[in-house]
Amino acid sequence: MLDLSKCVLAHLQAHPQYAKLPFFAFGESYAGHYIPAVTHAIWQHNLALPPHAVHINLVGTSVGNGLTNPSIQYAHYAEMAISTNGHKPAVSNITHALMVAATAPCVAAIETCKASRAACIGATDACNVGLLIPYTLTGMNPYDMRVKCAKTPPCYDYSQP
């Protein structure tokens, strides 16, 4: 069982008054790796529940803007940047060509990262420099390519409640 699901279980054992409350697991971005795994571990725990064990009342899970399979997702960033669904491409032909050239090293670095955690910083750098930064420099909203970001970075103005 994953450490986070063990943490949830330990919390419920220490505070049984919360055991019947609905449990939701949410995350965003890279949590797309962890939230599904944690909720699956909780589901498996609940299936194999011995008598008198604590049941985790898993009700829902959600991942927003999930980076769930970076090898596949980053492989399509260059094409996404020039997609035209009723709007202009976000990047120039030259920038697109540079992004295409950066795609194979990015994906290869991600594959190396899967085998060695020490390679993950290099993979992050390769993918960010080659694929994310060129799009970010356009000032276009990564969630709605038809409009410019309201504020850069991170595109939205979070200063107002």
Q: Where are the domains of the chain?
A: 3-64, 70-148
d(CA 61, CA 39): 7
**pLDDT for 99:** 97
**pLDDT for 142:** 82
The b-or-e profile of 84-110 (16+ CB within 10 A means b, else e) is eeeeebbbeeebbebbbebbeebbebb
Q: Mean pLDDT of all residues in the chain?
A: 86
- Which of residues 3 and 128 earns the better pLDDT score? 128
What's the whole-number mean pLDDT along residues 50-66? 84
* Four-way CATH pick for 70-148: 3.90.1150.200, 1.25.40.10, 1.20.140.10, 1.10.287.410: 1.10.287.410
Is 70 exceeded by the pLDDT of residue 150?
Answer: yes
**Are 71 and 107 spatial neighbours (Cβ–Cβ below 8 Å)?**
yes
